[in-house]
Amino acid sequence: MIALLPLDSRPCNTDRPLRLASLAGADLLLPPRELLDRYTRPGRPDLLESWLWEQARSCGNFIINLEMLLYGGLIASRSFSTTSEEAGSRLQMLYRLKEQQPDISLTAFGVILRSTITVSNDADMDVWRLMPLYSELLGRMHSGEKGLKCELQHLEERIPLEIRERYLSVRRRNHHLNIAAVKAVSDGVLDYLVLGQEDATSQGLHCLEQAEIMDIVARSGLSDRVTLLNGADELGALLIVRALGSVREEVAVEGWPDASWERIARYENMTIRDNLERHLHVLGWSVGVKSDMSLMVNLPHDDEMPDIFLGEEASPTVYDSLYYKIDNLLNSKAKVGLIDLAAANGADDRLMSGLADRGALGRLSAFAGWNTAGNSIGYALAHLGALTAAEKRREQEEIARDNAVVLLEEYADDWIYQSRCRAATVNSLKTKGISPFNLGPYHAEVEAELQTCMVLKLRQLEEQVCFSAGNKMRWDISLPWPRLFEARIRRIV
């Protein structure tokens, strides 16, 4: 049994880990939903501490997110409602837990603060676009670069002083606590720690923080017990697969177009190749050409990955050669996973439509094409890892049946929702003057509009994936937070 304290209450951090744990044949415990956050309302760290103590009586394996434990969730970690002293005191709880239960396994994951702010309404968008440049300029100045004062001053005139001061205060606090978490590894409290860099750019204050953390890790001899990578929402699922204790695996990796491996994906600060290797390291996996498990990566085709949520589209691409590569893998490998990195925040509609027309969607073993490159990389690996773990616990017929549902839900979310219906709904909201970041009293109305858009397309998807469950097929589609960025999409039989 594994207990997970998630990053927040969104489906990607609760439903997806539960889905993969169930596929693997493992029992996963999550806190009661009322103890977790909901959008801008923080979770309850005090009650979550009690929940952890209670689970420790019977559960020996814990995966703990630091943002939820210390601040009440990811969005709460971007505010200064929790002082450094309060957060530090909550971290000490892990020391007490380990002291009283020395045989339990404590794995933790945390987030290095993003480059920008949380967007809760349309008015925030201007500052959201400016803050990464502000962080970049400060980072370059701290690194000794000259001649940036005028540019920085001009930028500061466009960003309210209160926002800048709060942003820097939160950065200092979170960085201090991340360093304290590394010390908890050194002290033997945490068995393993992953620090994920949330949405960022190739330069900025976060790069200085990463460098300091990695210097501490190297000097402390913790390179095998602390991993730093780009990502956040995928880490809970990835660490669940690690906790299942599967033997060291190899995976064959191919990319298309191959030259894009050295690109830095949008919202990240390390190359796609480097980030993939670091996610593999979390699982203890490596690249092996002769492996019977393969991963195909649709790499970015543009200089900068377009963001589907912002209304941008990937460049028109002829996918014939990629279809050929995928078909060869499906005919020669036992398990084939596909990662779509053509765009951020959604799968490439051209790619997915072509795969559907060729009957390939139902033959894949794993798929991810959501949010950032790190999110997709980590979740696809976790999906393959769950299948590998399942083979030691379950019958093959059961695995195939349940994985068909997992795949269907991934296609429904990453492709049908994020790349089709969400975009259409956002455009509809613009004509009504409703912000997709704050639905307010229109929540139920927008949810109903979204459901109408989704139902027919999901029926078509089931046919394309060749998934049949008689006449009892139903979908549960809802917006868990009062915004359009994510949806809860579950197939009910």
Does residue 399 sit within a domain? no
Distance CA(40)–CA(38), nearest Å, equals 6
Does residue 271 sit within a domain? yes
pLDDT at residue 248, as a whole number: 73
Does residue 484 sit within a domain? yes
Residue 438: half-sphere exposure toward Cβ, Cα within 13 Å: 10
Res. 247 pLDDT band, cuts 50 70 90: low
Q: Are 221 and 84 in the same domain?
A: yes
Tokens 């795969």 sit on residue: 355
Rounded to the nearest 10 degrees, what angle do helices 125-142 and 149-156 cross at? 150
pLDDT at residue 123, as a whole number: 79
Q: Are 236 and 257 in the same domain?
A: no
Distance CA(94)–CA(423), nearest Å, equals 43
pLDDT at residue 246, as a whole number: 61
> Per-residue pLDDT averaged across 474-491, rounded?
95
For 391-417, the pLDDT digits (tens) are: 999 999 999 999 999 999 999 999 999
pLDDT at residue 339, as a whole number: 98
For 300-315, the pLDDT digits (tens) are: 998 889 999 999 988 8
Does residue 291 sit within a domain? yes
pLDDT at residue 347, as a whole number: 97
Distance CA(367)–CA(265), nearest Å, equals 18
The larger pLDDT score, comparing residue 471 to residue 325, is at 325
pLDDT at residue 249, as a whole number: 87
> Per-residue pLDDT averaged across 74-97, rounded?
97
Q: Which of 243, 273, 295 is the last residue of a domain?
A: 243
> Per-residue pLDDT averaged across 139-162, rounded?
94
pLDDT at residue 162 above 60?
yes
Q: Are 282 and 180 in the same domain?
A: no
Res. 121 pLDDT band, cuts 50 70 90: confident
Q: Are 188 and 100 in the same domain?
A: yes
pLDDT at residue 486 above 90?
yes
pLDDT at residue 268 above 60?
yes
Q: Are 310 and 347 in the same domain?
A: yes
Q: Are 55 and 102 in the same domain?
A: yes
Does residue 430 sit within a domain? yes
* CATH number of the domain residue 358 falls in: 3.40.50
pLDDT at residue 468 above 60?
no
pLDDT at residue 182, as a whole number: 98
For 248-257, the pLDDT digits (tens) are: 789 999 999 9
Report phi then psi at 427, rounded to 5.
Answer: -65, -40
Q: Are 231 and 316 in the same domain?
A: no
Look at the chain and report how many structural domains it folds into. Answer: 3
Question: What's the pTM?
Answer: 0.96
pLDDT at residue 493 above 80?
no
The angle subtended at Cα 263 by Cα 130 and Cα 363, nearest 5°, is 115
Q: Are 420 and 476 in the same domain?
A: yes
Q: Are 214 and 268 in the same domain?
A: no
Q: Are 217 and 91 in the same domain?
A: yes
pLDDT at residue 125 above 80?
yes
Q: Are 383 and 492 in the same domain?
A: no
pLDDT at residue 120, as a whole number: 82
pLDDT at residue 471 above 80?
no
Q: Are 287 and 145 in the same domain?
A: no
Tokens 């201090």 sit on residue: 176
Mean pLDDT rounded to a whole number for the chain: 94
pLDDT at residue 335, as a whole number: 97
What's the N-to-C CA distance of the chain in angstroms? 26
